[in-house]
Structure 1
């Protein structure tokens, strides 16, 4: 019997070909990559190949279990290599970026001050302990560097109690509302100067550009497979081992221990990734994520970047040409960004527009505040001020592109939006 995993779907041929083709439904235009990217052919193939062998990981002596354990640990190595993990870093598989950042929040040494910006996704705003510092969204990337330098300087000078305690800077690599790139390298340099660590939410950056912990000189990296063309429920936290090995397990249970005695206190926890991966892991998610990482590692990333940037320019230019559409942005209009554009239609409810695009034009976009409520509300207010429009809605629309997106897709969006003017 042949096992069918996916309904019939053709690869969507856009900016790529081969293993990085993405699965899609003919006739449907998916412009919601920033929420969940379509599945890459290589990820689907990796899952299909392993399914007949699917068994327990780390817990069995049979051939199936041994093969799955090897596949799982190879996936860990592949993901670590792809993101430039150092030899003493841990690669811990999680459910997604939110899970990874919550894990990091749980292992912070006592008294750690976390410094973030107000433009973060909720996953990088909500997990941090009381006393965290949230800096305003700057007007440009250089402003972010200056603001962080000033804030860390104040912390170390004693403006906040516990100036000698650990400090963690947590910042996005690319904003999920606007796609704008944050100056991670410069922020890392500032963090180093002030003896702080830095964690990067790379959920939106990793699908569009190479991300290397060593090259960026950052301490932790959080990613989601479902943003990276591997929508099988796996993500990763990659980074320095010391805080991870010193903290209690994120989850208590089987696989996280090296010894459990009869007494309730007689427990020795494992070190390494196993310490925070209790229970049966998401083997297929890890393998799918690793398959995409390997395929991207072998691809011409410069060519993919150039193709995406050309399509992004077409998308932004087309939106700008519509008189009733206003784009959201935090930085200047020419600030570098990945394939994400958020906008509003004057006088139109965003949820109703999204429903109309789906029902009448087979176009999928996102509407709302994109799990970044403080930033999105600020940008909506600023857009009203720039445009002089008083009829902008309280929520926005977001179109996002990636592998498999085409000129036809964005042109169909323009044509549909034009009918709503």
Structure 2
């Protein structure tokens, strides 16, 4: 069989841009062999940078309580935490009077923001649920929330946005910095200009943008940005919300508890100003330090190198996919530019879950399948039954991209090499012969494999 890559122009090998933990991890295949894991699921959770792992190992012996602790290590941990806050704020171009709140992730950040917005919210239907549900539920309980359908082009969508802002008053426009389905986005400069002209602020879901293109509140004029450490090569449970201080300083505290208060009496509570106001309980010191280290590592890259690496991999992936019969690459707008390295596609007559299972079991490739927590967008793209998503990052090489294209080519020509069945809604290998890795805690995976039964496909 001739691979589709063999009939394409010769491409230069693209190495990883930065070392990541697990880059040489071997996974078992159904034929009894093994392969280096090709992690093409960075849009869900990116692997840790090696620099982040090294930093955690360095500071872990220094970990102690933060804020109000008299012990030496408590003072050290407090300094590390507050330094991390400053680094994270600088990474997204925070202005001098902006507030940086350490959260769990983007979802946490946007739910926090939804609790302090003082008026109606405008959001588009292309959003990840993290930037849709908080406004539909939390904000709608207090204010009007409008979900604006996207139009056929970027230009038409911007026109619709401007028209809606002219017709109705909004406190906030919230928009993705890059789609977690297609990598596309509206030009932020145009969105910010339209919103500010109408007297509204702008929040950016930066989960897919910040790790891949960088972002600056000061340069774009946006008012808030939210992003996750686990998508920024720091999977230690921290994220951030950074932006204008006044709503955050005056709004209802996100959590009620210690650290968020100045004084508590039976008849009243005096709250701290932001950021402490929204960080009740013991904070994730190590997560904040990990996120700050990732930010510093990405900032240290030569200008343009991150974008060039990702654009080369994305272009190579899209070209390979579009050369395969029956494969449809999903796009929101034909006139969008500069998408990040997230590519979703469908394969004619094949369930996305089956495609993902074959790629994993037979080729050692990790991708995502389903509707990617963006159900309205998948419906808009005529992919309500789901799609397959491949996403790249700083640790991705051209070998991983080429392996995916070759594997899909083989699947289309020869079909699956193993038998597959659906268990609890997920495709899995029937009578899976692959051994489990020698790691404690895989009991659930073993139970799932044992339960595989029913007609094979």
TM-score (norm 2): 0.82
Match of 2:448? Answer: none
Q: Could you say what secondary structure the match of 2:389 adopts?
A: strand
What is the DSSP-based 3-state SS (H/G/I as helix, E as strand, rest coil) of the residue aligned with 1:419?
helix
Work out the CA distance in 1 between the residues paired with 2:252 and 2:366: 42
Alpha-carbon offset, residue 143 of structure 1? 2.3
Match of 1:115 in 2: 122
Contact conserved, 1:15 with 1:308, CA < 8 A, in 2?
A: no
Aligned-partner Cα distance in 1 for 2:165–2:66: 43
Residue 306 of structure 1 corresponds to: 308
SS at match of 2:333: coil
2:338 equivalent in structure 1: 336
C-alpha distance after superposition, 1:2-49 (max 9, x if no partner): xxxxxxxxxxx93324xx545432410000000001100111111111
Distance in 2 (alpha carbons) for counterparts of 1:124 and 1:307:
28
Corresponding residue of 2:293: 291
In the other structure, the counterpart of 2:9 is: none
Could you give the per-residue CA deviations for residues 192-248 of structure 1, whole angstroms, max 9, x where no partner exists? 111100100000001111200010001110000001000111100000111111112
> What residue number does 1:397 align with?
388
Q: Which residue of 1 aligns with 2:224?
A: 220
- State the SS of the aligned residue for 1:171: strand
User: In the TM superposition, what is the alpha-carbon distance from 1:301 to its structure 2 partner?
Assistant: 3.8
CA positional deviation for 1:375: 0.3
Q: Does 1:73 align with 2:82?
A: yes
Contact 1:33 1:401 survives alignment (8 Å)? yes
How do 1:18-417 and structure 2 match up within 5 A?
21-24=20-23, 25-26=25-26, 27-109=36-118, 112-128=119-135, 129-130=139-140, 131-156=144-169, 167-261=171-265, 263=266, 265-332=267-334, 335-380=337-382, 394-417=385-408
Q: Does structure 1 conserve the Cα–Cα contact (< 8 Å) formed by 2:182 and 2:332?
A: yes
Q: Distance in 2 between matches of 1:336 and 1:139?
A: 18
8 Å CA contact 2:101, 2:278 repeated in 1: yes
How far apart in 1 are the matches of 2:75 and 2:198? 46
CA distance in 2, matches of 1:266, 1:113: 30
Distance 1:74 1:125 in 2: 32
Distance apart, 1:366 and its partner CA: 0.1
Q: Quote the Cα distance in structure 1 between the aligned partners of 2:150 and 2:373.
A: 16
Range 291-300 or range 191-200, more displaced = 291-300
Between the aligned partners of 2:22 and 2:17, the Cα distance in structure 1 is: 12
Residue pair 1:181, 1:338 contacting (<8 A) in 2 also: no
Shift of 1:272: 2.0
The aligned counterpart of 1:387 is none
Structure 2 unaligned spans of 5+: 1-13, 27-35, 413-457
Deviation >3 Å, runs of 4+: 20-23
Shift of 1:334: 6.4
Q: What is the TM-score of this pair, normalised by structure 1? A: 0.88
3-state SS of 1:188 partner: helix
Would you say how many aligned residue pairs link Structure 1 and Structure 2? Answer: 383
Look up the SS of the partner of 2:343 in the other structure: strand
| CA distance in 2 between partners of 1:138 and 1:43 (Å) | 41
Deviations 1:55-99 (A, max 9, x none): 101031111100000000000000111111111111000000000
Measure how far apart 1:277 and its partner are: 0.2
Residues 391-415 of structure 1 deviation map (CA, whole Å, 9 limit, x = unaligned): xx82100000011111110111011
Separation in structure 2 between the aligned mates of residue 22 and residue 147 of structure 1, nearest angstrom: 44
Say if 2:153 and 2:335, in contact at 8 Å, map to a contact too. no
**Any conservation in 2 of the 1:368–1:397 contact (CA below 8 Å)?**
yes
* Secondary structure at the counterpart of residue 318 of structure 1: helix
Distance 1:417 1:126 in 2: 34
1:333 deviates by 7.0
Gaps in structure 1 of 5+ consecutive residues: 1-12, 157-165, 382-392
